[in-house]
Each structure stands twice: as structure tokens, then as C-alpha cells.
């Protein structure tokens, strides 16, 4: 290993590297590229947080790595468990910001919903996270560490099989970090999740949908929420830049392996987009696509103007889609008793911190 000319440097996060990047970094010091795979397997598959535990590396190399790299992890600030089995994690980032992840029980396995940004800049009118605006993008390591933290918390880590980018933020607005995180999540020397079990949800940044299909293999979900541009413009400001026609065109170009579909998420809001005529328009709109539809009854939160439709309205909307031979699933919200709507736990934590700061100023 070559010697450095300077004694002052800031340790880098080993989780910020892909295998190729880590191999290049090691190569600067004359270390064989294959060591990158060894190091990453220790980190992601054996779950170690200290280079001293990497026993198939020489003592000198372990010391060298310990002096120049760190293995990051998130600080878990709060964990809440719902009566329906959902578990919500509030993580504190190194700069004091907060993000959320939600562990969702499924028959025989768990699905983890992760965040890609602190806050969100898309401004969707029905979304609590969007009301606070975008604070910043997450680093790839902060995305990956959500999976690591939750996996480490499970009695059987192998029971975590599905990852969905449906938490805080717009994944395609943090494109490079998200793609790098996906590469590690699905990589042979990374977390080894099947690409068939990783889903990315977007509000419809059409050019990035094309990029995503080229750069990684994942399932695509589109948060549509309306079947006409006028309604979608009112709910989702991004539609003025990327209208429905542009989004659906990108979806048609998205590479779909045999028997896979594009998932369209549709938040049902009383009196806004829940009429049978809306369902008919949606059925016609998606006809050219291999589409599956997730119907999500709106989950009210304090201060919102929107309301959840009645159960009869929800079922009537679904029936129209079923009659048109779509797979249309009603996804009932989980974790209602722990505030599992995206952003609720974070909002509560930040409100508490704000009150504490104000109290300190008064004292």
C-alpha cells in the first residue's frame, strides 16, 4: 500500500461507494480491486459496522481502512408499532433532519417503504409531506441505511423481502442517489434483494422514467390520482410540466419483463376523483398499457381539506375497473393508530422540537 503525503483527511463513508467506486478508491493505495467485494459483503451481508471484524482481511488492511473509512448507520429516534402489525421508524439524520420508513406486514414476509428525500418539493395537495416542502435530497447511504437499520431490527432479517420507494420525497428528483442505492440494494455484493421485489413510485417525471428503465431493473409505480389533466393539475402541480399524456407515453416505453405490469396508484378523494365517471375515464386511459391499479382511500390528517370517500363509493369505483378487466386492488391504509400516513411522525417530531426551542427562548 502506498503512503499518503498528508496526515489530514476526512474519513469517507464506505456505504457511499458502489463496488466499482470502492475498487477505484482502493486502487489509489495499491490495494487489489477484489477487496472491494469482500468489504461490501461484510458490510451488507454480514451486517458489520467495524473493519476490525473483517477477519479475511489482513490486520494491516483492517487498520488502514479504519483510519480512512467509516461504516455509517442511522440514528433511530422513535419506533411505533400499530395494532395491525405495521411498524413505523423515525430516523434522525446527521444534520438533525428526520425521515420515516414503514415496515408493512404481508403474508409470510415484510415490505419496507423507504424515503428518498427529507421532505418533498412536488407540492401534491393531498400529501402531508409535501406541505413542508423539500429540505434536501438523501445521500445514497442514507437511503440504503433505512433498509440496513430495519433489517437489523428484525428477528428474522430474511423475512424482509420487498422494498418500495413510496416514502417521503420524489425518488426521480433525487435520481443519482436513488439509482446508486438501488444498485446496492439489488447487488450481488450488496443487500441482494431481487429486482422483482423493488418498486419505485413516482409522480411522473417523464424524462427520468426513460432513464430509470435504461439504468436499473425495478418495478415502476406511477402516482396518477386523476384521469384528466384538469383534475390532476389541481391535485399535483407537476402535471403542468409533465401532463398525463407525456407520462403514459414514458410508461409505454418502460421495459417490462414478461407478465409484469406498471402499477398506477390512485388516491380516492371524496368529491374530487371518486365518481364512477372518473373510473370509466381511468379505464379508457390505461387501456393501451399493461396496467395494475392500486386504489388508495385518502387517509385524512389534521388540517387537510380533503375527505375519504364512503366504503360504498370506493367499492363502486373498483367495480367499474374490474368490469373493464383490470386488476384493481383497494389498498387500505395501515398504521392509522400510529400516524403512519407519510410525514405524520416526522411532522409531530419537528413540532415537538419547535415547541422545545420556543420554551428554551422563553426561559
Catalytic positions, please?
Answer: 100, 342
- Best CA proximity match to 206, nearest among 176, 266, 255, 251: 251
Asked if residue 47 lies in contact with residue 148, where contact means CB atoms within 8 angstroms, the answer is: yes
The helix or strand, by DSSP H or E, that contains position 36, with its residue range, turns out to be helix 34-44
CA–CA dist 14, 2 (Å, integer): 20
Taking alpha carbons only, the member of 299, 332, 351 closest to residue 128 is: 299
Residue 161 vs residues 292, 339, 341: alpha-carbon distances, Å: 21, 24, 22
Beta-carbon-side half-sphere exposure of residue 112 (alpha carbons within 13 Å): 26
What distance in Å separates the CA atoms of residue 172 and residue 135, rounded to the nearest whole number?
Answer: 16
> Which cell is 165 given?
420507494
The CB density around residue 222, as the number of other CB atoms within 10 Å, is: 25
d(CA 18, CA 40): 9
Per-residue cell: 32: 487489489
Amino acid at each position: 500500500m502506498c503512503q499518503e503525503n498528508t496526515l489530514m483527511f476526512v474519513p469517507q463513508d464506505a456505504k457511499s461507494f458502489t463496488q466499482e467506486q470502492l475498487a477505484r478508491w482502493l486502487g489509489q493505495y495499491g490495494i487489489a480491486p477484489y477487496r472491494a467485494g469482500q468489504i461490501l459483503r461484510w458490510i451488507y451481508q454480514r451486517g458489520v459496522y467495524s473493519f476490525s471484524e473483517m477477519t479475511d482481511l489482513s490486520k494491516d488492511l483492517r487498520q488502514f481502512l479504519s483510519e480512512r473509512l467509516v461504516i455509517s448507520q442511522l440514528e433511530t429516534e422513535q419506533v411505533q408499532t400499530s395494532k395491525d402489525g405495521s411498524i413505523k421508524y423515525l430516523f434522525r439524520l446527521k444534520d438533525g433532519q428526520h425521515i420515516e420508513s414503514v415496515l408493512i406486514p404481508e403474508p409470510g414476509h415484510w415490505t419496507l417503504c423507504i424515503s428518498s428525500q427529507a421532505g418533498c418539493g412536488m407540492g401534491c395537495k393531498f400529501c402531508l409531506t409535501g406541505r413542508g416542502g423539500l429540505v434536501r435530497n438523501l445521500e445514497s447511504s442514507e437511503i440504503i441505511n433505512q433498509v440496513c437499520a430495519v433489517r437489523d431490527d428484525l428477528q428474522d432479517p430474511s423475512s424482509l423481502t420487498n422494498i418500495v420507494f413510496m416514502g417521503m420525497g420524489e425518488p426521480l428528483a433525487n435520481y443519482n442517489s436513488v439509482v446508486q442505492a438501488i444498485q446496492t440494494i439489488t447487488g450481488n455484493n450488496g443487500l441482494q434483494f431481487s429486482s422483482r421485489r423493488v418498486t419505485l413510485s413516482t409522480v411522473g417525471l417523464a424524462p427520468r422514467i426513460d432513464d430509470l428503465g435504461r439504468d436499473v431493473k425495478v418495478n415502476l409505480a406511477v402516482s396518477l390520482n386523476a384521469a384528466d389533466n384538469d383534475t390532476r393539475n389541481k391535485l399535483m402541480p407537476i402535471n403542468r410540466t409533465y401532463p398525463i399524456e407525456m407520462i403514459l407515453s414514458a410508461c409505454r416505453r418502460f421495459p417490462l419483463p414478461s407478465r409484469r405490469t406498471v402499477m398506477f396508484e390512485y388516491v380516492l378523494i371524496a368529491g374530487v376523483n371518486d365518481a364512477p365517471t372518473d373510473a370509466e375515464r381511468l379505464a379508457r386511459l390505461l387501456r393501451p398499457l399493461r396496467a395494475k391499479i392500486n386504489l388508495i382511500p385518502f387517509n385524512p390528517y389534521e388540517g387537510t381539506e380533503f375527505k375519504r370517500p364512503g366504503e360504498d363509493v370506493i367499492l363502486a369505483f373498483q367495480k367499474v375497473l374490474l368490469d373493464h378487466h383490470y386488476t384493481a386492488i383497494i389498498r387500505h391504509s395501515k398504521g392509522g393508530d400510529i400516524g403512519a400516513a407519510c410525514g405524520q411522525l416526522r411532522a409531530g417530531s419537528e413540532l415537538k422540537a419547535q415547541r422545545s426551542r420556543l420554551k428554551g427562548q422563553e426561559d
